[in-house]
Amino acid sequence: MLKRYLLAPGPTPVPPEVLLAMAMPIIHHRSADFMPVLESARKGLKWLYQTENDVLILSSSGTGGMVGAVNNFFNHGDKALVINGGKFGERWTKICRAYGLEVKEIMVEWGYAVRPEVVEKALKDDPSIKGVFVQACETSTGVYHDIEALGKIVSKSGDTLFVVDAISALVAHDLKTDAWGVDIMVGGSQKGIMLPPGLAFASVSEKAWKRNASSKMPRFYFNFKKERENLLKNQTNFTSPVTLIIGLNEAIKMLQKEGLENVFARHARLAKATRAAVVALGLSLYTKESPSNSVTAVEAPAGIDGQEIYKTLREKYGITGAGGQDKAKGKIFRLAHLGYAGAFDVITAISGLEMVLKSMGYKLALGAGVAAAEEILMEDK
């Protein structure tokens, strides 16, 4: 028997408490039994998002939330400024262009964070830009973009909307939606929120709702106005993913019991330990600045295929991380520490990595990475 360990940046492990809650008998999504469940989820998401605005709950992957962030608030021909520093920044560009927006990209070298002053200059050079799109965590590179700094810049640009994909950053990072001027923040269930895939979330500011009134984009399933109207009645526009929302309530209860500051500190500690471990093994981080607390991207040693590291970890030791994407494929591998993750998930991942690398001929002292991680993990919380 090969025991499995899920250490990918999505989907992430689901706690037993959440699985048990979702095993309860199904209830009807329009019944009086379900309304308090959705009401509880609404309140919990506002707490998690640190917002006074309602957070929409969509039955889709996170990408559905990204689509809704475009077709509900913009018009054909609107100018969009997209920060493209990886595969998911590229996704913003593709979605915007699919709906006829005129896209200007700020290309950021993979492994680096966007310079806020570059965004500021772009907005000053073209005041007609209607929206700035960015990832909080660029999952493909392990980079965290400075959402606080960017929010301050965009807020000075009139009615320009600040749209953030926080799908893999939510829970792992302290994202202050309202205080930082984020107009639309998209999340997903299968990352830090510790659920199976299937839910997307979107907080929407009053500034964005005013824009929604003048948006003429075609929309049917991802109709945020109708979702908002139904949410205020503790319903969703279409059939609610009842089981997932029941699980969402249980997951939020777990996070509330831990406390937001403790949740953020745990993710920061796990990330720090992982980075220290790979460096102790003589490896280089692919993320050259502003590393995310969600996932660590590591350069494969010279002569060793990063995809083979990822595959061997999974096939021989049951540890599922992630490989590189696009131009980073074969050059890197990634280990997540997101959601339902603790100290021994890091220890397991690093121990497996050491054995895989040694079996591939890479020279290392077994236990060096584990020891470095343990030093961090033993620090006072």
Q: Are strands 5-6 and 199-204 parallel, antiparallel or unpaired?
A: unpaired
pLDDT at 30 over 70: yes
- pLDDT attached to residue 146: 98
Q: What is the DSSP string of 7-45?
A: -SSSS----HHHHHHHTSPP--TTSTTTHHHHHHHHHHH
Q: How confident is the model at residue 319 (pLDDT cuts 50, 70, 90)?
A: very high
- pLDDT attached to residue 135: 98
Contact criterion met (CB below 8 Å) for 70 and 47 = no
Structure tokens at 164: 């953030």
Q: Are strands 55-59 and 199-204 parallel, antiparallel or unpaired?
A: antiparallel
* pLDDT tens by residue, 68-112: 999 999 999 999 999 999 999 999 999 999 999 999 999 999 999
Using a cut of 0.85, tell me whether the model's pTM lies above it: yes
- pLDDT attached to residue 379: 87
Q: How many residues does the chain have?
A: 381
DSSP, res 327: G
Q: List domains and CATH numbers for the chain.
A: 5-10+259-377 (3.90.1150.10), 16-257 (3.40.640.10)
Report how far Cα 295 is from the mean position of its chain's Cα atoms.
10
Q: Are strands 332-336 and 322-323 parallel, antiparallel or unpaired?
A: antiparallel
pLDDT at 380 over 70: no
* pLDDT tens by residue, 197-232: 999 999 999 999 999 999 999 999 999 999 999 999
Which residue is it, tokens 């690398």? 357
* pLDDT tens by residue, 182-198: 999 999 999 999 999 99
Provide the mean pLDDT of the chain: 97
The rounded distance, in Å, linking the Cα atoms of 104 and 21 is 45
Given phi > 0 = left and psi -120 to 50 = alpha, else beta, which region is 219? beta
Per-residue pLDDT averaged across 321-335, rounded? 96
Give the percent of the chain with pLDDT over 70. 99
Per-residue pLDDT averaged across 150-161, rounded? 96
- pLDDT attached to residue 255: 98
Cα distances (Å, whole numbers) of residue 370 to 5, 105, 267, 287, 323: 17, 41, 18, 21, 21
Q: How confident is the model at residue 381 (pLDDT cuts 50, 70, 90)?
A: low
Q: Could you tell me which of 326, 370, 318 has the C-alpha nearest to residue 13? A: 318
Which residue is it, tokens 């590189």? 324
